[in-house]
Amino acid sequence: MQQPSLDRIETFLRDLQDRICDALEVADGVAKFREDHWERPGGGGGRTRMMADGALIERGGVNFSKVNGDQLPLSATAHRPELAGQSFTALGVSLVLHPRNPYVPIVHMNYRFFSAGSVWWFGGGADLTPTYGFAEDAQHFHRALEAACGRHDPSFYPRFKAWCDDYFTIKHRQEMRGVGGIFFDDLSGDANFLQAFWEDVANSFLDSYLPIATRRRDLPYGEREQQFQLLRRGRYVEFNLVYDRGTLFGLQSGGRTESILMSLPPLAAWVYDWQGEAGSPEARLKEDFLTPRDWA
């Protein structure tokens, strides 16, 4: 099976990080990214970019990493046990944005490539986590992803949307983390075809998210909305620390902890036995948005 070019993948991911960071700085209008270069003991390293205290983004990170090692960590071999003990190379760009305004949704994006011996695969996706749900925002986000998938294989979007709905579920809460998006892993086969698809969906990120952020960033809000935002951020923390495969892989592979945990919000809250007021926007989030729906 033809192997994708690691040089091409690395060039694409570094450029993707540059383009997204440039666009986010323009959109925010106040904050700039801080850049840290780091090296991983055992092989590889990365380029972490963090933004904080902006007009749009309260905290956000856009990370590039390329790591290699003599043995895949448990998080990678749990679903591919035949690769236990193999040396590996992993490249990716991971992004999480925690907006200032509670009406602007949290967004997560990750696109990655793994190679272990003669085996390789693409993975990735993007998903949206609103504090307050708007159907038109969920529709816009999903339709952008559907269009990018459809340019390559019409079966990809429904398949990867369902995978995302299942993956980004907080099982101990019996609710989805947000309104989903797409998620895929272990994608191998025709290298040129799959890389073209993978690059296209990664490139669709700015068009899928920035119009939503622009539409919601100036909506007025008060203490009630801020407190609910902290509660929903708490749910986000629970998922990332308990279930997220990327977080587990980063920690188990000896990656830079500060870069891995950039996905966590600056502030979060947990309220004992929280129950939303019936019919309120807060209660409707779970009722109307945190179960699988055909948004596209």
Report phi then psi at 69, rounded to 5: -165, 175
Residue positions annotated with a catalytic role? 108
- Helices and strands in the chain, H and E counts: 10, 9
- What is the H or E stretch that residue 91 is in? strand 88-99
What's the Cα-to-Cα distance from 89 to each of 44, 68, 81, 139, 251, rounded to whole Å?
A: 9, 4, 17, 36, 15
Query: Could you give the angle at the alpha carbon of 163 between the alpha carbons of 96 and 271, nearest 5°?
Result: 50
> Which residue type does 102 have?
P
CB 230, CB 158: distance < 8 Å: no
Tally of CA atoms within 13 A in the half-sphere of 28 that contains its CB: 24
Distance CA 166, CA 183 (A): 9
CB 269, CB 227: distance < 8 Å: yes
